[in-house]
Amino acid sequence: MKAWLRGASTAAVLVLLAGGWAYLYTHSRTVDAHQQNATLAMLKDLKQIDTDWGADVLRSQADLHKSYDALVRPLQLFATLTARLDEEAAAWEDAALRDALLDIKTTLAEKSELIDRFKAQNSLLKNSLHYLPTAHRDIQSAMRTERDRSFSSTQRLLGTLPAEPKRAQAPDAEISSAVVQADLEALRRRMDEQARQARALNREAVALVQWENAVTQVVGEALRYYAVPDDAEGENLKRELDALRASLPGYPAALQEPIGNLVAHVEALLQLRSRQTALLRDIAAVPVPAKIDALSNGLIARFDAELAQQGRYNGLLLFYSAAVLTLVFGAAGFITYRNATERRRLAELVDRQTQELKDNEAQLIHAQKMNALGEMVAGITHEVNTPLAAVKSGLQSTREVMTTIAEVIDGAGHLSGALLQPTPKEEAQRRERNAALSARVRRLVELRDELASFQAVETVNQLLDDGIRSVEHISRVISNMLNFSRLDRSRIALSRVEDGLESTLAMAAHFLGKYKVVKEYGTTEPVHCDLAQINQVLLNLIRNAAQALPASGGTITLRTGMRGPGQVCIEVIDNGQGITPDVLPKIWQPFFTTKKEGAGTGLGLSTSKKIVEAHGGTIEVSTEVGVGTQFTIVLPVQPPAELYEQQDRLALASAGA
């Protein structure tokens, strides 16, 4: 019974603990950042469509849109976006957010109504504007008709001028003075009448010109006001319309109707353009962006609050998990302590077997490490021995040169010491001293000529440079071995892949001796890369190619070229036995190898793929059993930004260390 109660109590406690953990975990995962970003993106689209809508209104006003399709099209987009927002708003607990969405829809409806009014007024305005040239042409045609009629009347008037009485032309006729006086009076009256008619026709012609100028000025002012609806320009146009309307009764009957139509359309243009300006201001003043920003800010504030709440639940979850783990471990320790006596033997047996298993596992891991290290050491022995031999040879040559240089220095020291000695007074001693000095000078000259004959300084500098390069080469080889399983981006530089192939072939010379290597280098661009890591990839591929060739020999072809703009291609081809179809899908898996046990770790191709992909490139394989295998590497000239970012992080870590 006690055991049953103890089991039931334990189960109840576990259920309660699991329930509390599930509650905290659920509340620590309530924030949906993807949904938040999608909603904000819809609001951003809504704001952009509204901005484009306002721009289309201005384009329609400027007659850039020949129809109102651009003003109608956003309505469907608004309907779609607001419908989606309505669906999301159903899950919003904050009524203020739903009210903000309702404000957006109300504001959009208000703006849509204003745009409908704009379309109606703009249609009337365009009708009046487009009628102005037609009305102007009609008035000009009527005025030309009036001018032609006036000109015909003038011609007729000039053709009916009175002739001199015939009696006045006959000096021999007997005419009384009364008759002559009567004829002269009649002639004067006719001439006065014709002069009056001529003046009337002249005034009419002048009036036609003035009327035409007035009409032309009104049309010009109307077009200028339409282009720039200035208040002063509108008042001026209104005064001219009033003057033209007041003078309309004085116009000929044939001109009154077209001028009246012109006045009516200009008045309509004046009123509609003024209203349109105010309407455009009203449309621009509709606060759709402000409403959208208000909802966006509300959503962001809600998201921040939920995120803070989720952070608090995460903290509680962490504390609760730590407490539960402490309780569990405490209970386990207590149970273990209670059952220690009766289970001691079994525990000791388990501990002993566990320790044996760990020891065996450690030995296996150590053997694998030693195997990998031995393979690497075998691969770089030639690369280290060759530059070491070069360094040794250079140092020996330098020591030989330095022996001669030391002799020159020693001779120069003795010569300078002898020169500093006082000159002997005896002639024989002076001759002996001069002979000794001459012998030392000749010896120094011989040594100088000897050093100059083989360019001692240049030779020493060359030997030192060769030694430095050899040491640097050894350092790079060792560093490449140490960094075999991780990418070191601290040495990213502009390099040519052909240089990498050459250095790799030098490292692989010890196992390529009996194989033919064909180099087909194309014209390639330098690549921003870690050349040491690329060399590691090339070494893996060349080693695999050599291992795939028969012992009797074979050919490895190395080919470079440009795959496309900014993409360098490297191909490693062998004419070996190829890869079987059942093995091909597994070659990229870590620790997979077809070599004999202990002959390989199975990490070469997986590591190579990791390095190439980190440089933003690809590595592919094509093979045919019995024909050979081709590995193709494609590297971008410019690697991804992540490569440089990790380079900066590694540089900072190195500086901190």
**Strand, helix or coil for residue 633:** strand
Q: Does domain 487-656 have CATH number 1.20.272.10?
A: no
pLDDT of 623 reads 93
> What is residue 156's predicted lDDT score, i.e. its pLDDT?
53
Cα distances (angstroms) measured from residue 177 to each of 170, 184, 348, 412, 489: 14, 11, 176, 159, 135
The set of long-range contacts for 142-151, using a CB threshold of 8 Å and a minimum separation of 24, is 142/252, 142/254, 142/255, 142/258, 143/208, 143/211, 143/212, 143/255, 145/254, 146/204, 146/208, 146/252, 146/254, 146/255, 147/205, 147/208, 150/201, 150/204, 150/205, 150/208
Report the alpha-carbon angle 350-351-352, nearest 5: 90
Using the predicted structure, report yes or no on whether residue 654 has a pLDDT greater than 50. no
Per DSSP, the three-state class of 619 is strand
Q: Which tops the pLDDT comparison, 386 or 584?
A: 584
The whole-number pLDDT of residue 653 equals 43
Confidence category of residue 565, pLDDT binned at 50, 70, 90 = very high
Residue 487 predicted with pLDDT over 60: no
- Region 124-148: mean pLDDT is 68
Mean pLDDT of 59-72: 67
Quick check: helix, strand or coil at residue 527? strand
pLDDT score, position 172: 47
pLDDT of residue 569: 96
> Could you give the CA distance from residue 378 to residue 345 in angstroms, rounded to a whole number?
49
pLDDT tens digit sequence for 364-400: 434 434 444 455 566 667 567 777 777 777 777 777 7
* pLDDT of residue 525 exceeding 90: yes
528: phi then psi, degrees, rounded to nearest 5: -80, 110
Which residue, 615, 636, 414, 386, is CA-closest to 509? 386
The residue that leads in pLDDT, 464 or 155, is: 464
pLDDT at 559: 96
| Full DSSP string of 568-596 | EEEEEEE-S----TTTGGGTTSTT---SP
Least reliable range by pLDDT among 42-51, 89-98, 188-197, 200-209: 200-209
CA distance 488 to 534: 11
Least confident of 220-229, 484-493, 618-627: 484-493
Residue with tokens 């962006």: 289
The predicted structure's pLDDT at residue 484: 40
Say what the pLDDT of residue 4 is.
72
Per the prediction, the chain carries an average pLDDT of 74
Residue 316 has pLDDT above 70, yes or no: yes
Residue with more model confidence, 260 or 648: 260
CA angle 179, 183, 189 (to 5 degrees): 145
Tokens of 200: 């009337």
pLDDT band at 168 (very low <50, low <70, confident <90, very high): very low
Higher-scoring residue by pLDDT: 476, 327:
327
pLDDT tens track for 4-22: 776 777 778 778 878 877 7
In the prediction, which pLDDT does 375 show? 52
pLDDT at 528: 92
Structure confidence at residue 486 as a pLDDT band (50, 70, 90): very low
- pLDDT mean over 53-82: 74
Domains of the chain: which residue ranges? 134-165+176-261, 373-468, 487-656
Is the confidence at residue 551, as pLDDT, over 50? yes
In degrees, rounded to 5, the angle at the alpha carbon of residue 259 between the alpha carbons of residues 256 and 261 is: 105
The pLDDT confidence band at residue 187, using thresholds 50, 70 and 90, is low
